[in-house]
Amino acid sequence: GAVVSQHPSWVICKSGTSVKIECRSLDFQATTMFWYRQFPKQSLMLMATSNEGSKATYEQGVEKDKFLINHASLTLSTLTVTSAHPEDSSFYICSARSSLAGVLNEQFFGPGTRLTVL
């Protein structure tokens, strides 16, 4: 149980275009999902916290108008990178937190999406 999927697993796009990444909890409901970005040889940096039915909470320094997050259901959150530029190239990973009692803190990670902006 507790499987999280991401789609696509990798994407290459031209500078200036927008890219949408989906994060799904397959066998549990996730009221909260998190989006991370990981540059090569670096740690995971939290970008935003996505709560179902409400606006996302962005970390300091993350542009909310550039990284659009939508959490329309208890099993799906999307991250759209708008007007992507080469510096946005990174590994984007989502995680979902189960609403089950007893595992309130544990996050289940998706497989990640490798974004390359040319």
**Piece of the chain touching other proteins by CB under 8 A; list 20-28, 70-78, 80-88, 100-108:** 100-108
The only residue of 43, 53, 54, 101 in contact with other proteins, by rule CB under 8 A: 43
* Using rule CB under 8 A, residue 109 touches other proteins: yes
**Closest distance of CB 44 from other proteins, Å:** 5
DSSP-assigned letters across all residues of 9-54: SEEEE-TT--EEEEEEESSS--SEEEEEEE-TTS--EEEEEEETTS
Q: Which stretch binds other proteins (CB under 8 A): 16-24, 64-72, 76-84, 110-118?
A: 110-118
What is the rounded distance in angstroms from the CA atom of residue 73 to the CA atom of residue 92?
20
What secondary structure, in 3-state letters, does 54-108 show?
Answer: CCCEECCCCCCCCEEEEEEECCEEEEEECCCCHHHCEEEEEEEECCCCCCCCCEE
Q: Of the two residues 18 and 116, which places its CB atom closer to other proteins in the complex?
A: 116
Least gap, CB of 111 to other proteins (angstroms): 5
Token reading at 108 = 């289940």
| Interface with other proteins (CB under 8 A) | 32, 34, 42-46, 49, 57, 91, 93, 95, 97, 104-107, 109-112, 114
